[in-house]
Chain A
Amino acid sequence: MLQVDFKKQLDHFSLTMQFRLDKEILALVGSSGSGKTTLLNCIAGIVHPDVGEISLNERKFYSDDQKPLKIQKRKVGYLFQDYALFPHLTVEQNILYAVPRESAIAHITELTKILGITGLLGKYPHQISGGEKQRVALTRSLAAQPDILLLDEPFSALDDANRDRCQNELLRIHEKWQIPIIFVTHRIADAEKLADRIMRIEKGQMTEETAR
């Protein structure tokens, strides 16, 4: 279970977050600059709260009374906005970048099949489309078998057909993996289709909305 209870001062407001998340899908909605990505960054460890606590399955990521857990030790899968694929590595090298040799190969093969990217393995990121990049980035974020998955506007660059396909794949992955997933979106329709819970963040304040 993910437990989040922290405050962080941003430029124009204070981000105040308090929620618990079991093995569910949580959608974060809200206008640009409201603090959604900062919340993901705090969970991942890229930035730290000013005060409070973040923990996942009893592992403390951040707490006032101890040093923040290093990003490398959090076991977080993070799909950045625009995907952030390593441009000098092939799709296969991107996916296997952090995977120890000879381990988890079956799991990666399964992922590449589920997400339909087997034919792209030898290509570089600049040689594939936006939808393909999204699937590669999702595969990469799952390759190291994370305990939680954070997705920052994963569907924003996709056309309707690709968006539908990727969303269905995400639901399948969630059903199989049973880990908490948090995704940021601007489209209420995406949130309603995918999420068990929807949270709106405006100027750093959260309010929980409808459930799926």
Chain B
Amino acid sequence: MMAYDLSPLWLSLRVAVISTLFVFIVSLALARFMSRRDFFGKSFLEALILLPLVLPPTVIGFGLIVLFGVNGPLGILLEQWFGFRVVFTWIGAAIASFVVSLPLMYQSVLAAFEKVDPRWENVARTMGVSEWRIFRTITFPLAWSGILAGLILAFARGIGEFGATLMIAGYIPGVTETIPLAIYFAYEAGDMEKSLFWVLIVSSLGIAAITWVNYWRKKTAVRIGRE
């Protein structure tokens, strides 16, 4: 097998790591909020968060172009405030990954928080402990296995994002060429060997991710049943 430019691997990892970092923060805050509050329109808000799971990637890409394009409201703001563009850059790819992996992470974190017995938090409150410390020392550690499973799923989804990425970031070799794009355009060019190379790489990452998720699910079951 001939040597290939590995830039798609590094770019995919950069995109997935950064999008997963933001997904982690946002989904933690969202799931915490949604697991504790009931309000008018909650179901609608939840449907919006989960929408990317059921929409075709091209629709997500279209929505991102409308929002972040050079004439889109967020695109104009980002260019005016920070001086950078989202379309046709790796940041666009990271935003696409963020949008598609957020619902996966959100669902995992919400389920993990709901598994934490509210009595543990209440008993800590009666002991005079602050809400932040309860979250840090009780809720988060007891939900950690589910959160980690969500992180791995979100990371794997971020690595594999194709349709929305192609629409907002385009295909610019060395700039926005992630692994899925490299596979597609190598195949289009008839370079099956290169396609296969990247298919094997991304499949290996996927298998490793799923193996981790299964391992941690088993550990979670043991841990929650500890008491």
Given contacts A72-B128, A75-B128, contact A80 B123 (CB under 8 A): yes
Which 6 A-B pairs give the minimum distances between C-beta atoms?
A98-B127, A71-B125, A84-B119, A87-B226, A126-B226, A87-B227
Most buried by A among B122, B123, B129, B138: B123
The yes or no answer to B167 lying at the interface (CB within 8 A) is no
The docked-state distance in angstroms from the alpha carbon of A144 to that of B126 is 9
Give chain A's interface residues, CB within 8 Å of chain B: 44-46, 70-78, 80, 83-88, 97-98, 124-126, 140-141, 143-144, 146
Q: Would you call A71 and B141 a contact (CB within 8 A)?
A: no
Q: Would you call A74 and B226 a contact (CB within 8 A)?
A: no
The distance from the CB of A92 to the nearest CB of chain B, in whole angstroms, is 15
Q: Would you call B126 and A86 a contact (CB within 8 A)?
A: no
Q: Would you call A88 and B142 a contact (CB within 8 A)?
A: yes
A-B CB contact pairs (8 Å), 16 listed: A70-B125, A71-B126, A74-B126, A75-B128, A77-B126, A80-B122, A84-B117, A84-B120, A86-B120, A86-B138, A97-B137, A98-B124, A124-B226, A140-B127, A141-B126, A146-B126
Q: Would you call A87 and B142 a contact (CB within 8 A)?
A: yes
B137-149 Cβ-contact flags toward A at 8 Å (1 or 0): 1100110000000
CB-CB under 8 A from B217, the residues of chain A are none
CB-CB under 8 A from B137, the residues of chain A are 97
The docked-state distance in angstroms from the alpha carbon of A88 to that of B143 is 11
CB-CB under 8 A from A46, the residues of chain B are 122, 125
The docked-state distance in angstroms from the alpha carbon of A87 to that of B126 is 18
Interface of A: prevailing SS: loop
Q: Would you call A85 and B127 a contact (CB within 8 A)?
A: no
Most buried by A among B117, B138, B226: B226
Q: Would you call A97 and B226 a contact (CB within 8 A)?
A: no
Given contacts A84-B117, A84-B120, A88-B142, contact A78 B126 (CB under 8 A): yes
Q: Would you call A97 and B127 a contact (CB within 8 A)?
A: yes
The docked-state distance in angstroms from the alpha carbon of A87 to that of B120 is 9
CB-CB under 8 A from B142, the residues of chain A are 87-88
Q: How many A-B residue pairs have CB under 8 A?
A: 65
The yes or no answer to B136 lying at the interface (CB within 8 A) is no
The yes or no answer to B211 lying at the interface (CB within 8 A) is no
CB-CB under 8 A from A140, the residues of chain B are 123, 127
Interface of B: prevailing SS: helix
The yes or no answer to B223 lying at the interface (CB within 8 A) is yes
CB-CB under 8 A from A76, the residues of chain B are 126
CB-CB under 8 A from A143, the residues of chain B are 127
The yes or no answer to B130 lying at the interface (CB within 8 A) is yes
CB-CB under 8 A from B126, the residues of chain A are 44-45, 71-72, 74, 76-78, 141, 146
Interchain CB contact (< 8 A) of B123 among A70, A75, A78, A88: A78
B100-143 Cβ-contact flags toward A at 8 Å (1 or 0): 00000000000000000101101111111110000001100110
CB-CB under 8 A from B227, the residues of chain A are 83, 85, 87, 125-126
CB-CB under 8 A from A70, the residues of chain B are 125
CB-CB under 8 A from A87, the residues of chain B are 142, 223-224, 226-227
CB-CB under 8 A from B223, the residues of chain A are 87-88
CB-CB under 8 A from A78, the residues of chain B are 122-123, 126
Q: Which residue of B lies closest to A71 (CB)?
A: B125
CB-CB under 8 A from B224, the residues of chain A are 87
Q: Would you call A73 and B128 a contact (CB within 8 A)?
A: yes
Q: Would you call B127 and A144 a contact (CB within 8 A)?
A: yes
The distance from the CB of B121 to the nearest CB of chain A, in whole angstroms, is 10
Given contacts A84-B120, A86-B120, A87-B142, contact A125 B226 (CB under 8 A): yes
Q: Which residue of B lies closest to A46 (CB)?
A: B122
Apart from A71-B122, A84-B122, A126-B227, list 5 A-B contacts with CB within 8 A.
A77-B126, A86-B120, A88-B223, A140-B127, A143-B127
Q: Would you call B125 and A72 a contact (CB within 8 A)?
A: yes
